[in-house]
Structure 1
Amino acid sequence: MSTPVAPPEDDIATAEPPTSPRTAHKTPFWVNQRLGLLVLIVALCALFGVLRPAFFDERLVLFPLLRDIATLTVVALAQMVVLSVGHMNLAVGRMAAFGALFAGFGYDRLGLPLPLGLLLCLVAGAGIGAVTGWIIARTGVSAFVVTLAMDFALLGLVSLMYSALTENAAFTTRPAGLSELRSASLGDICVGPVCGSPAIPQMIQFTVLAMAGLGFLYGCTRLGRELLLTGANPAAAELSGIPTGRRVILAHALSGLLAALAGFMAAVGTGTFRASIGDDFMLPSFLGAVLGGTLLTGGVVSVIGALLGTSLVGVIRKGLDLLGVGLESLNIYLGCVLLLALSADRVRTVVSYRKVVRST
């Protein structure tokens, strides 16, 4: 069985055969999706900074912006994992609320410390994700249908559980360390007389750990390559001896775990555990993953790309908000960004294909 190899100069993990050095050399640099995202992010930051100098305020703008980016990057990673096997998770927001529910219950009723509540949250998220993947693998029903049904089921279940377990539909008990995790930064980093910005939220550590884990999984392990091959060509993966059903279950379990982590981070950011957590996760989950280079058809993922895609969305959100753009108009703009991203990805694929054809 041939194993997929990612080009050393790119962080994309792919199940497609590697191209020859000569072909890679002929590919123009401007079709590099991550480079384009980075340039666009820098340009937009400069533009919004010129139009609204308050955009560079550390505590009022940059700190909450980075905290939101950290949370939504984990959401994008949750979507990216299932996209790697050619599926999608329409219940990513409800899984976030489901996991956060268990964390809030642990803190409010069981008196758990902060780490144990987080662990309970992750176990709940992984469990509901594994159940979703098992249903898909056993029945053969489309992931779109199953996750859509799971979304509606969890919508009702989470709301009923909050109504039964709380008086104000929210857990408000804050364990020791939660307030610091919400508002504290990683501190100033000083090199000689120059000190770095303190606007780096502590929650970004969760995002870094999630990115490092997935980067190692897809880039350095056989399991990760099997996930990608399952998404790129399920029939070939099955003939190669890969247990595709188990890989589907694993992908959805990881997606549920990451969604629950994002739900926990969102709850920490607001200070309460409530049923509405994750209501706005759907669009950002696809925006971050697809903008970053993950294919909707499976087989190709980009962990760094998910971060860049989410950062672009976060900068656009914050910048337009400072410019006074309403929520309805903002959603229209984000929908257009997703459409342009899909179109740009198609253009990039066509250009790369033509370069390969001309070089043969």
Structure 2
Amino acid sequence: MWPGMGKRTSKQAAPSGVEVRLDGVAAAFEEGAFAEALAGAEALLAEAPGLPEALHWRAATLVELGRMEEALEAYGKALKAAPDDVELLLGAAECLVCRAGDDREAVEEGLELCARGRKLAQRAGDVELLFEFLLLEGTGLNQVGECARAMASLDAALGHVPRSVEAQVERAIALFELCRFPEAQMAFEEVLKDAADEPWAHHYLGLLAERRGDGKEARKRFGKAQAVAPREFPPPVELGEEAFDKAVEDAVKALPGHVKEYLDNVTIAVEEIPKDEDLLGESPPLSPCILGVFRGSPVGERHSILGNFDPYPASIVLYQRNLERFAKTREELIEQIGITVMHEVGHLMGLDEDDLWQRGLD
């Protein structure tokens, strides 16, 4: 959503020819001349530092130039100047939800802006913007694992634009993450009726085929996703069984001595992908894309009338295919194996997901 020319909230005098100059910034932006658009916005701000439209264009242009820290700061300034500008709220929320990488705090901040913008759009009767906020909200909720809530937002979005491919894809992803696999299968197949080359639909249909044990179909779907969107879906980094096991052994050896003491009666295993029973043993279910899982009771909760005998021995499982898909390079894969081992050992020691996130082990 490009910055609009709504009612100005700044009380300062507008620069000479402001509308023509803003139109020039908009034209440069839409042509992909982002450096030119940025220069135009900054020239306007040099004369009128609080001009909301120029602040918005500057922020949007910085996003396109990949200068994310500056963009987030610019959106913050713009929102101070025009806190109820719905298009500005949408741009800032999109930046936080979709452009800030794996920063959970940024996504949650973006969701707060979505909630504000959604209410304002609803109050104004702006169905187009309301749809955009609902879609972005569903996307963000999926990212932070709140997939049931994401479903509600995405169903509402589809109520306004029933054939939106983006909303259909996000809704299907939520179904997959909630382990509602037959429904997810149908939802992704429905997406392909409107967008036959939609790469995310093919990728997830590959994951579903993999779960069914249909290797041929999985390879076909993964190959299609990689052909259509090679940057988003590069070929997985594959380690042989021996090399993967060695990486796990090395990760365990690298644990601090006082931590390794807790592993005496803990089995560490490698499986290809998670079993349904591991996913559905939690409420809400665990993501089918989890990298590892801890089975059993944390150290502090173990007890038995039989003394030191534990009738339900603890185990840590790493999922090789999910880890290989997660990483972009061999080095990153080996590093992530170590992080995943530490993550699951954290659960063994009684840490929850919030504790692990605060330690950078999410």
Q: TM-score category by the smaller chain?
A: under 0.3
- Structure number with the higher helix fraction is 1
For normalisation by structure 1, the TM-score amounts to 0.20
For normalisation by structure 2, the TM-score amounts to 0.20
The structure with the larger Rg is 2
Bigger RCO of structures 1 and 2 (CA < 8 A, at least 6 apart): 1
